[in-house]
Amino acid sequence: MFRWSRSGASASTVVRDEEAACRDDGAGLKVVRRLAQSISHVGKDAAEVRGALEDTQRIVQVQGQAMQALGRQLQQIGQAQAAIAAATAQSAAAVQRARGALGVVGGEVVGMSTTLAQVSGAAAEITKISLQTRLVAFNAAVEAKHAGDAGRGFAVVAEAVKALAGQVEASSKAIVSAIASLQERIDRFSAELTENPARPSQIHAAFHEVEQDVQRIAASAAESGQQMNLLNARAQELEREVLEATHGLKVAFDGSDRFLRMSEDLVEQIAESGVEVDDMPFIRAAQDAAAEIAVLLEGALRDGQISEAELFDENYRPIEGTSPPQQTTRFCALTDRLFPGVQEKALTLSDKIVFCIAADRNGYIATHNRKYCQPQRRGDTVWNTANSRYRRIFNDRTGLASARNTRPFLLQTYRRDMGGGRFVVLKEATAPIEVAGRHWGGVRLAFNF
């Protein structure tokens, strides 16, 4: 295309101007391509930052949950300590009441000892009287013998009195002996009940030990309560710090998200302008795969291989015992037959391509590339995450954006979770799949930088 000079310049001048303009256009395209490459690498860095923020956000969320659980546990411990303090106070009061009752019993025992002493004295007096009675009866018997037949009846009475006096003496002596034994026991018991700081009895020593134990429990509960108050205050402070950190991370996360989306938009706009950027072969490959899959699905509808309701089935039924969880739908059998031919072919276009898959509009991957369609190993979630990526819903930011994109193409940069804390940063080109005038989903073609 020639640019004619208004001043009527010569043909050679016009040619030179045109050649210079072409050189300028070529230089401009190179600048744009370099700019696209730089923006792409900035997007990669933004994806790394976003991923790191996601990791930190998860850790902070776990810490926040742990702090809330700790707060609940501290509250329960505080309630238990309050119950211990109340029970300790009740125990101390009960010990004091028991000690008071012991004093009352001690007084009663002293009274009993006094009464027994009086009884013992009375018994001793009875013994003396019985001795005197026996002596009088003996003298009366002697006198009755001297009286002969006249004193015979009196002698019988005297003997009876003598015998009765002997019985009384024996009984009184037995009473005195029993009371002496009982008095000895009561004296020992009274000594146990009487509180003597110089020589404490076993009962008072036991009461003293119980009081000391109760006091130690009360002191420990009080000290523990103070520590619990300090811990509770610190836990509340840490919880506030976690909330502040969560808010700060959200602000940073949203900022990195906007920055990442901006870099993706810039690369998309450059590609849409017609400049052949590095991503264009992958964009075209995704669009071609989407078109092929759309033709296959429409053919299946037309031939009656599947109904429209089955093809757009959103009733995802969990597969029991899977981790990460897998689901199945009514179109899985069809996609297992139709998709591998298109998806596996796309992998051969470049060594940079990591996967090529078709997702429905909710991010559900019924059929993945064959190398990622390995049967799950029970109990090995890490291995399953990396190798069993079919029959799964990927409804994260990237997955949903790709599944629900209706523009000619979409470029995204993200970290792919490979399980076990391993991630890889990828770029992804997406193209929509239209079937029977309805948006079914999209082709996701991921590739390395």
Contact, 393 vs 362, CB < 8 A? yes
Residue 32 is predicted with a pLDDT of 61
What is the residue whose two structure tokens read 């276009």? 349
Distances (CA, A) of 421 to 52, 384, 385, 426: 11, 13, 11, 16
- Residue 144 and residue 103 share a domain: yes
Residue 162 is predicted with a pLDDT of 67
Residue 253 is predicted with a pLDDT of 53
The encoded tokens of residue 135 equal 């002596």
- Residue 214 and residue 316 share a domain: no
- Residue 343 and residue 259 share a domain: no
Residues of the chain with pLDDT > 70: what percent? 57
- Residue 315 and residue 247 share a domain: no
Residue 19 is predicted with a pLDDT of 44
Residue 22 is predicted with a pLDDT of 41
CA distance linking residue 209 with residue 316, whole number of Å: 70
Residue 380 is predicted with a pLDDT of 95
Residue 3 is predicted with a pLDDT of 35
Please state whether 274 falls in left (phi above 0), alpha (psi between -120 and 50) or beta.
Answer: left
Cis bond upstream, residue 375 (ω within 30): no
**DSSP state for residue 376 in the 8-state scheme:** P
Among 203, 235, 265, the domain boundary falls at 265
Among 265, 297, 321, the domain boundary falls at 265
- Residue 165 and residue 303 share a domain: no
Is 30 among the domain residues? yes
For the chain, which residues score pLDDT lower than 50? 1-24
Residue 114 is predicted with a pLDDT of 77
The residue type found at 251 is V
Domain span at 341 = 279-447
CA distance linking residue 231 with residue 253, whole number of Å: 32
Is 274 among the domain residues? no
CA distance linking residue 39 with residue 253, whole number of Å: 19
For residues 404-440, one letter each, b for 16 or more C-beta atoms within 10 angstroms of the residue's C-beta and e for the rest, the string is: bbeeebbbbbbbbbebeeebebbbbbbbbbbbeeebb
- Residue 283 and residue 374 share a domain: yes
Is 270 among the domain residues? no
Is 20 among the domain residues? yes
Is 414 among the domain residues? yes
Please state whether 29 falls in left (phi above 0), alpha (psi between -120 and 50) or beta.
Answer: alpha
- Residue 324 and residue 364 share a domain: yes
- Residue 253 and residue 286 share a domain: no
CATH number where 23 lies: 1.10.287.950
- Residue 239 and residue 303 share a domain: no
Among 265, 300, 330, the domain boundary falls at 265
Is 273 among the domain residues? no
Number of domains in the chain: 2
Is 409 among the domain residues? yes
Sorted by sequence, the CB contacts under 8 Å of residue 390 that are 6+ apart come out as 326, 365, 366, 367, 368, 372, 373
- Residue 251 and residue 316 share a domain: no
Residue 295 is predicted with a pLDDT of 98
- Residue 346 and residue 411 share a domain: yes
Residue 317 is predicted with a pLDDT of 98
Record the pTM: 0.53
What is the residue whose two structure tokens read 């991957």? 365
CATH number where 317 lies: 3.30.450.20
Residue 438 is predicted with a pLDDT of 97
- Residue 295 and residue 185 share a domain: no
